[in-house]
Amino acid sequence: MGTVALCGTKDKSVWRGTLRQGAGAMDLGRVRLIVSDVDGTLTVSRRSFRLSCRALSAIEKLEECGVRVGLASGNSLPVLAGLARYLGASGPIIAENGCLAMARPGGVIELCRSSAREAVEVIGRRLGLEPSWQNKFRVFDHALVVVGKPREYVKELTRRANKLLKELGYRNLYAFSSGYAIHIHPVEADKGVALRRVVEHMGLDRSVVAAIGDSVLDLPLLREAGVAVAVGDADEELRKVAKLVVRSEAGEGFAEFAEMVLRARGCGQRGD
């Protein structure tokens, strides 16, 4: 989407999303936790870092309605913890693509054992890529910046990174691209592993947990949730796994799903 939805703008059109077979029995009124990807799910588009005003408003309404909102991303824990505080999102935080989690209340849970700190420096020099500024705040997953580079070139760089990791003996690490960066990531954990841990910590049944995302990197996250949701412009692989595919894209899609949950829980929409 090329335009930014203004805060308070409301879409009155009829929902035209997609429900997978058997998903019609979902009781969205039971949802107590929504864990959301950030880039491409809470932003105005998959090409922007700007947060969607409608998504921000939706988070506020969900929290007021008793539905906690958590964040899951490849970003570092300090970035996500700060973002969650200013969004008013009280749910768990999953950082570094699942290597770190923060169950709130509760401390930081380390789900990976291997750090990519040394490997990312070596791979970055070999491939001529700059390290992410967030690396100094990362513990396990580290990243190399590829923003603005052609998609096919990034695929080739990722392939070369994985080849170098094997040649250099980093058997417990692998490389993948988020579209914004090439991540060098430990094999021990992903967003799904982290979600399972924090849900257990919170004492919730997975049936009351929803997860929403936009890319193949969110596949493990959605597979662990009782309600798996993809935004309208999500990768096809994610759309196939999702029980619900909303009509709207990116942050507008998050807001659309939030409104479905709010209606199911009987929470009035401000201004209706």
**What does the pLDDT look like over 190-231, one tens digit per residue?**
999 999 999 999 999 999 999 999 999 999 999 999 999 999
Report which of 229, 251, 231, 269 is spatially closest to residue 6, judged by C-alpha positions: 251
Q: Residue 240 is inside which H or E element, if any?
A: helix 236-241
DSSP letters, 32-80, are -EEEEESTTTTBSSTT--SBPHHHHHHHHHHHHTT-EEEEE-SS-HHHH
Give the chain's domains with CATH numbers: 27-111+190-264 (3.40.50.1000), 117-186 (3.90.1070.10)
| 63/92 Cα distance (integer angstroms) | 13
Is 27 designated active site?
no
| The pLDDT of residue 17 | 61
Q: Count of CB atoms within 10 A of residue 139's CB?
A: 17
Q: Which of 37, 190, 214, 218 is catalytic?
A: 37
- At residue 13, does pLDDT exceed 60? no
| The pLDDT of residue 46 | 84
Give the burial string for 71-96 (b: 16+ CB within 10 Å, else e).
Answer: bbbbbbbebbbebbeebebbbbbbbb
Instruction: Please provide the average confidence, as pLDDT, over all residues in the chain.
Output: 91
Distances (CA, A) of 41 to 56, 109, 162, 212: 11, 24, 27, 7
Average pLDDT over residues 76-104: 96
Average pLDDT over residues 149-172: 97
- At residue 44, does pLDDT exceed 70? yes
The model's confidence at residue 18, banded by pLDDT at 50, 70 and 90, is low
Between residues 148 and 72, the one the model is more confident about: 72
- Do 67 and 33 meet the contact criterion of CB atoms below 8 Å apart? yes
| The pLDDT of residue 26 | 79
| The pLDDT of residue 47 | 84
Q: In the structure encoding, which two tokens stand for residue 211, read together?
A: 């997860």
| 180/145 Cα distance (integer angstroms) | 7
The model's confidence at residue 15, banded by pLDDT at 50, 70 and 90, is very low
| The pLDDT of residue 23 | 54
Average pLDDT over residues 126-133: 97
- At residue 10, does pLDDT exceed 50? no
| 75/109 Cα distance (integer angstroms) | 16
Q: Is the sign of the CA dihedral 118, 197, 219, 35 positive or negative?
A: negative
- At residue 3, does pLDDT exceed 60? no
- Do 268 and 246 meet the contact criterion of CB atoms below 8 Å apart? no
Average pLDDT over residues 63-68: 98
| 93/87 Cα distance (integer angstroms) | 13
